[in-house]
Structure 1
Amino acid sequence: MNVKVVIFDWDGTLIDSVEHIAESLHQAATELGYPDLERKAYRNIIGLGMVEALQKLYPDLSLDEIARIREGYSGYFFQKVTTPQNVFDGMAEVVADICQSGRGCSVATGKSRRGLAQALTTSGLGHHFDITRCADETRSKPDPLMLEEILEFYGYQPEDAVMIGDTHYDLDMARRIGMPAIGVEWGAHDREVLQSCDPCAVVNTVGDLRRVLGL
């Protein structure tokens, strides 16, 4: 692909964290007496900002209820530190090779700034990224504001970049501004869901991703 910048989602795309997020949400919600949902329900909202995710899981929550669940979620989630071993095999090399090629490299994530700041350091990936945007400092996916802010940072147009993600929230976000997107099958959503957003490719191995990116 002849693009100037590659924008990655974080959880489920670079980091093998989907099950930990789903379990942390499940524990936090059920501990407070909210319904025990199927694990797929928790997986399906990964990629959204936390407020939007909880509103989708448990409609009609008050702001106080959301705050209590978020506090419980943080307690569970931060018990586990993201390490280089949590990076999907081969993805650290993909990120490094993108930077080596002279293309920009950035992150657009539904994580909070607190969560991403820690993970950037402990994963060993942080020094590769020019800019990162989080849901709690802009708007949640699939609103494309975080992509627009990244493009503004570089001075690029949507067609100059590609969004890589494991959920339809990632790919729909890109589609809304005419940005090419690549879906990866090793995260939260399956191929059929990813293809519904008309990405330029859906890949199921890191090798396939490298070929699409021309690495």
Structure 2
Amino acid sequence: MKNRFDLIIFDWDGTLVDSIDWIVQCIQRAAAHYGCPVPEPQAARDIIGLSIEKAIETLFPVADEETRAKLAAHYSQNFFSKQISPDDLFPGVSDMLRQFRRQGYRLAVATGKKASGLAKAIEATGLADLFCTTRCSDQTASKPNPLMIDQIVAELGVDKQRTLMVGDSVHDLQMALNAQVVAVGVTCGAHSESTLQQFRPLCCLSYPTELLDII
């Protein structure tokens, strides 16, 4: 796969950042706070990657609009109560991204986070100088709609056949399928290899840093 790609698009939570358990805890706390059924851990993992609005709607389908808004607000307040730092990146991620940039790859992020949250996270993890562009759920359509990838590719002027999507969830890989770009799954986040393989990734890796060995 050497020299096959020009652009690598990464998901954020669960792909570059070890945040899945914290997201699950924050979702469960929000549910408990408002007397809603507390999702099982895997049910909470299954919505990671979606916009917070779609995630709450999926997890709490019988909740009314006001309760969903309160759940989303409580989740966000809890999630951002924890200060993110470079230590929250999976080991070796910063060095990997810097090596890719030195090798001439263009890097981007496509995430279910909101733009303000991603900007803070990128700055706090020391990665602000590495990404050519980003797309967030409040800027475009939520995963698995392909619009995030379509917009990134169009903005950077890169051929889809030279684009790679890297993600840890079914929403990432389904988005890649919908956008007709190649994907690599990582199993350090929301979903297992057996689950990710259903979406026909090029391969599944334990951690994103293993990309250095194959591209």
Report the TM-score, using the length of structure 2 for normalisation. Answer: 0.96
Using the TM superposition, give the Cα deviation of residue 60 of structure 1 relative to its aligned residue in structure 2, in angstroms: 3.6
Using the TM superposition, give the Cα deviation of residue 206 of structure 1 relative to its aligned residue in structure 2, in angstroms: 4.5
Counterpart pick for 2:122 among 116, 120, 133: 120
Spell out the pairing of 1:189-200 with structure 2 (5 A cutoff): 189-200=191-202
Using the TM superposition, give the Cα deviation of residue 207 of structure 1 relative to its aligned residue in structure 2, in angstroms: 5.0
User: Residue in 2 aligned with 1:71?
Assistant: 73
User: Residue in 2 aligned with 1:15?
Assistant: 17
The 1:178–1:111 alpha-carbon spacing in structure 2 relative to 1, beyond 3 Å, is same
Using the TM superposition, give the Cα deviation of residue 101 of structure 1 relative to its aligned residue in structure 2, in angstroms: 0.9
Residue identity over aligned pairs, in percent, reads: 37
Counterpart amino acid of residue 10 in structure 1: W
Counterpart pick for 2:190 among 177, 182, 188: 188
Counterpart pick for 1:51 among 47, 50, 53: 53
C-alpha distance in 2 between matches for 1:35 and 1:125: 37
Spell out the pairing of 1:3-42 with structure 2 (5 A cutoff): 3-42=5-44
Using the TM superposition, give the Cα deviation of residue 40 of structure 1 relative to its aligned residue in structure 2, in angstroms: 1.2
Spell out the pairing of 1:58-207 with structure 2 (5 A cutoff): 58-206=60-208
SS of alignment partner, residue 179 of structure 2: coil
Counterpart amino acid of residue 84 in structure 1: P
C-alpha distance in 2 between matches for 1:50 and 1:206: 24
C-alpha distance in 1 between matches for 2:103 and 2:131: 14
Deviations 1:65-117, CA, capped at 9 Å, x for gaps: 22111110111111111100000001111111111111110000001112111
Using the TM superposition, give the Cα deviation of residue 63 of structure 1 relative to its aligned residue in structure 2, in angstroms: 2.7
C-alpha distance in 1 between matches for 2:75 and 2:83: 14
User: Residue in 1 aligned with 2:211?
Assistant: 209
SS of alignment partner, residue 187 of structure 1: coil
8 Å CA contact 2:26, 2:79 repeated in 1:
yes
8 Å CA contact 2:51, 2:112 repeated in 1:
yes
C-alpha distance in 2 between matches for 1:103 and 1:153: 15
Deviations 1:130-179, CA, capped at 9 Å, x for gaps: 10100111011000101001001111222110000000110110111210
Using the TM superposition, give the Cα deviation of residue 62 of structure 1 relative to its aligned residue in structure 2, in angstroms: 3.0
Counterpart amino acid of residue 8 in structure 1: F
Alignment size in residue pairs: 213
The 1:121–1:187 alpha-carbon spacing in structure 2 relative to 1, beyond 3 Å, is same
Counterpart amino acid of residue 23 in structure 2: I
The 1:130–1:206 alpha-carbon spacing in structure 2 relative to 1, beyond 3 Å, is closer
